[in-house]
């Protein structure tokens, strides 16, 4: 595959890149510590809200992935984070990661031992803490409204206090890059104070996210050369460079990288660790998470997306469902022969996979590849039959490119397979216009030779049908309880054939590991919903049975 047999990294070309650098770069590290802040900085994202249980589950996933540190939240800032740190020791069994509590330096004019935030940090009962301090003159004078000397004392006193309680201290220098360019002398005083007071790692933060990689490279080089202490970085993505900046910083000698799986965070987010980690591990040979766990990054990214209830972006590098999806036309057979010529890494290195996207534009060879991918044997006649069906259906408004689940069922049917989990006799949906706006659905099905009639309520037709169907067949198929709908999209299509508008319904479903999309098209929105729901459940049962 593409990333095998690569020549060993040549340190010399990196170190003495004098042709492109007017400064000397420190040596690139062998390994870096990955610090995930999804549970603290990441949860600042609009629409992202985690219960304490969710937070515990996210932390488990991060540990399973193998990050070095998990920032769990800000104890004392809200009851949720308070509860998280109280429950973590008993309920979290971390095997690779160290839990970190976050807080800020003491307030101006208050003794460290009297400061409430620092008190909460000690009580959080973690081995390590991370505190943030303003490292920019502007923010000290304008936001804190205190003197530069007091800001330096706040940093020093706070670190010293936490060290006296035997805590490992990570020191987040907030607004570091902007502050360094504006008044380097003051910013360096802050870093010096933290270092001398015993901070283990000095973390350079690009809080406004506006810094570009070439500045990161020379500034981080200067700091790494100046400090005999671990230097870390924390980038926000406001200029679209958070991942690039993290890589530039590591190339310049930083050995601690903060960010969030899937790049969560306020505004444009934090550095996306789902891209940063593979870039460092696979492209630069820098150790990040344990190498044999890199293949967990796609499933973990999707699982966490599920926990935070934000649909994963298909185009996300490395881990997105489209990251290795080829909409093949002319090049299909060439891609099949030499995938490595069309993919920047072997997708399985990150637990992802090559996917061939099928649409009516696709030829036989794409369809044959798709069947092969699914392990289905389709002869030439069967293949022609599927191709014809596909064209007819796409003409009616189906769109199989985005409905991999329904496409798979279509291909399976072409081999003569028919789902026999249950048989629909009829369904009925009633929508009540009252205060509760509930929809009621009744489903009549045959499960084996048993006729079952089930009625359920929901907040719409799909929800009500889904609940009724589950009631009817859930007893027969207990695995159904692990399968649930995560998204539902409706689009009205004007077919332009004089038949009026048709409705296209797409349903995303997950079993916690895989996500599949199914489709229904009809002039009747409820009929379209049923088709998509039927495929969704059949696909889920089919794969649950083969597990």
- Which residues form the interface with Zn ion (CB under 5 A)? 41
Using the minimum distance from each CB to Zn ion, give the nearer residue, 33 or 41: 41
Tell me how far, at minimum, the Cβ of 1 lies from Zn ion, in Å.
Answer: 36
User: What pairing do the DSSP bridges indicate for beta strands 168-174 and 128-134?
Assistant: parallel
Give dist(CA 100, CA 37) in Å, integer. Answer: 9
Using the minimum distance from each CB to Zn ion, give the nearer residue, 122 or 203: 203
Tell me how far, at minimum, the Cβ of 218 lies from Zn ion, in Å.
Answer: 22
Element (H, E) at 359: none
Length of the chain in terms of residues written: 547
Using the minimum distance from each CB to Zn ion, give the nearer residue, 41 or 54: 41
Using the minimum distance from each CB to Zn ion, give the nearer residue, 232 or 351: 232
Using the minimum distance from each CB to Zn ion, give the nearer residue, 41 or 115: 41
Q: How many CB atoms lie within 10 A of CB 411?
A: 24
Tell me how far, at minimum, the Cβ of 16 lies from Zn ion, in Å.
Answer: 34
- Strand, helix or coil at 190? helix
Give dist(CA 398, CA 391) in Å, integer. Answer: 9
Tell me how far, at minimum, the Cβ of 172 lies from Zn ion, in Å.
Answer: 8
Tell me how far, at minimum, the Cβ of 37 lies from Zn ion, in Å.
Answer: 7
| Closest to 140 in 3D by CA, of 125, 129, 153, 150 | 150
DSSP 437: -
Using the minimum distance from each CB to Zn ion, give the nearer residue, 203 or 407: 203
Tell me how far, at minimum, the Cβ of 35 lies from Zn ion, in Å.
Answer: 11
Tell me how far, at minimum, the Cβ of 457 lies from Zn ion, in Å.
Answer: 43
- Strand, helix or coil at 430? strand
> Which residues lie closer than 8 Å to 151 by C-beta, 6 or more apart?
108, 133, 134, 140, 144, 190
Element (H, E) at 355: strand 355-356
Tell me how far, at minimum, the Cβ of 272 lies from Zn ion, in Å.
Answer: 13
Give dist(CA 531, CA 518) in Å, integer. Answer: 8
Let me know: does 294 contact 347? Beta carbons within 8 Å: no
Tell me how far, at minimum, the Cβ of 265 lies from Zn ion, in Å.
Answer: 7
Using the minimum distance from each CB to Zn ion, give the nearer residue, 36 or 41: 41
Tell me how far, at minimum, the Cβ of 421 lies from Zn ion, in Å.
Answer: 48
Question: In sequence order, what are the beta bridge partners of 439?
Answer: 431, 458
Give dist(CA 218, CA 231) in Å, integer. Answer: 14
Give dist(CA 94, CA 22) in Å, integer. Answer: 44
Give dist(CA 533, CA 462) in Å, integer. Answer: 7
Give dist(CA 395, CA 346) in Å, integer. Answer: 35
Q: Which residue's C-beta sits nearest to Zn ion?
A: 41
Using the minimum distance from each CB to Zn ion, give the nearer residue, 32 or 519: 32
Give dist(CA 481, CA 537) in Å, integer. Answer: 11
- Strand, helix or coil at 135? coil
Strands across the sheet containing 484-494: 484-494, 501-510, 515-522
Using the minimum distance from each CB to Zn ion, give the nearer residue, 208 or 431: 208
Give dist(CA 403, CA 360) in Å, integer. Answer: 13
Tell me how far, at minimum, the Cβ of 217 lies from Zn ion, in Å.
Answer: 20
Using the minimum distance from each CB to Zn ion, give the nearer residue, 37 or 463: 37
Let me know: does 193 contact 152? Beta carbons within 8 Å: yes
Using the minimum distance from each CB to Zn ion, give the nearer residue, 157 or 174: 174
Tell me how far, at minimum, the Cβ of 484 lies from Zn ion, in Å.
Answer: 32
Using the minimum distance from each CB to Zn ion, give the nearer residue, 46 or 434: 46
Give dist(CA 247, CA 233) in Å, integer. Answer: 10
Element (H, E) at 103: strand 98-104
Let me know: does 121 contact 110? Beta carbons within 8 Å: no
Tell me how far, at minimum, the Cβ of 422 lies from Zn ion, in Å.
Answer: 50
**Token pair belonging to 108:** 């101006």
CA 322, 67, 235, 246 torsion: positive or negative?
A: negative
Using the minimum distance from each CB to Zn ion, give the nearer residue, 242 or 414: 242
């Amino acid at each position: 595959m593409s990333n095998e047999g690569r020549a060993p990294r040549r340190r010399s070309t990196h170190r003495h890149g004098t042709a492109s650098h007017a400064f000397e770069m420190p040596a690139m590290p062998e390994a870096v510590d990955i610090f995930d802040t999804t549970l603290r900085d990441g949860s600042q994202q609009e629409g992202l809200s985690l219960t304490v249980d969710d937070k515990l589950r996210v932390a488990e996933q991060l540990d399973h992935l193998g990050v070095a540190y998990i920032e769990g939240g800000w104890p004392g800032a809200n009851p949720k984070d308070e509860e998280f740190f109280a429950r973590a020791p008993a309920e979290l069994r971390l095997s690779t990661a160290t839990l970190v509590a976050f807080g800020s330096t003491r307030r101006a004019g208050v003794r460290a031992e009297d400061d409430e935030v620092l008190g909460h940090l000690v009580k959080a009962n973690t081995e390590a803490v991370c505190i943030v301090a303003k490292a920019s003159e502007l923010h000290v004078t304008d936001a804190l409204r205190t003197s530069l000397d007091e800001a330096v004392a706040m940093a020093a006193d706070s670190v010293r206090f936490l060290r006296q309680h035997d805590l490992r201290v990570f020191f987040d220098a907030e607004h570091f890059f902007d502050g360094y360019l504006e008044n380097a002398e003051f910013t360096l005083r802050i870093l010096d104070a933290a270092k001398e007071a015993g901070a283990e790692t000095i973390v350079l933060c690009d809080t406004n996210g506006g810094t570009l990689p070439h500045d990161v490279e020379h500034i981080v080089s200067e700091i790494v050369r100046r400090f005999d202490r671990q230097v870390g970085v924390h980038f926000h993505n406001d200029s679209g460079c958070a991942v690039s900046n993290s890589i530039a910083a590591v190339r310049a000698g930083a050995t601690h990288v903060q960010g969030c799986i899937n790049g969560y965070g306020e505004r444009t987010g934090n550095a996306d660790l789902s891209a940063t980690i593979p870039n460092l591990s696979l492209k630069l040979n820098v150790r990040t998470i344990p190498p044999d766990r890199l293949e967990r990054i796609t499933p973990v990214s999707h699982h966490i997306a599920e926990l935070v209830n934000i649909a994963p972006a298909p185009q996300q590098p490395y881990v997105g469902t489209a990251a290795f999806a080829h909409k093949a036309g002319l090049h299909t057979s060439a891609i099949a022969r030499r995938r490595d010529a069309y993919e920047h890494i072997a997708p399985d290195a990150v637990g992802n996979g090559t996917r061939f996207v099928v649409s009516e534009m696709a030829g036989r060879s794409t369809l044959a590849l798709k069947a092969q991918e699914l392990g289905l044997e389709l002869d030439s006649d069967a293949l022609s039959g599927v191709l014809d069906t596909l064209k007819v259906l796409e003409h009616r408004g189906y769109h199989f490119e985005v409905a991999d689940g329904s496409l798979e069922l279509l291909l399976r049917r072409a081999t003569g397979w028919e789902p026999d989990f249950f048989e629909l006799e009829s369904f009925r949906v009633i929508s009540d216009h009252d205060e509760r706006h509930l929809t009621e659905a009744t489903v009549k099905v045959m499960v084996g030779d048993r006729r079952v009639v089930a009625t359920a309520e929901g907040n719409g037709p799909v929800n009500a049908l889904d609940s009724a169907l589950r009631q009817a067949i859930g007893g027969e198929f207990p695995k159904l309880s692990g399968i649930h709908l995560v998204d539902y999209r409706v689009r009205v299509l004007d077919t332009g054939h004089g038949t009026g508008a048709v409705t296209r319904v797409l349903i995303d479903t997950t079993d916690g590991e895989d996500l599949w999309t199914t489709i229904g098209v009809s002039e009747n929105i409820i009929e379209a919903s049923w088709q998509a729901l039927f495929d969704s459940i059949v696909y889920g049962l089919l794969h649950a049975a083969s597990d």
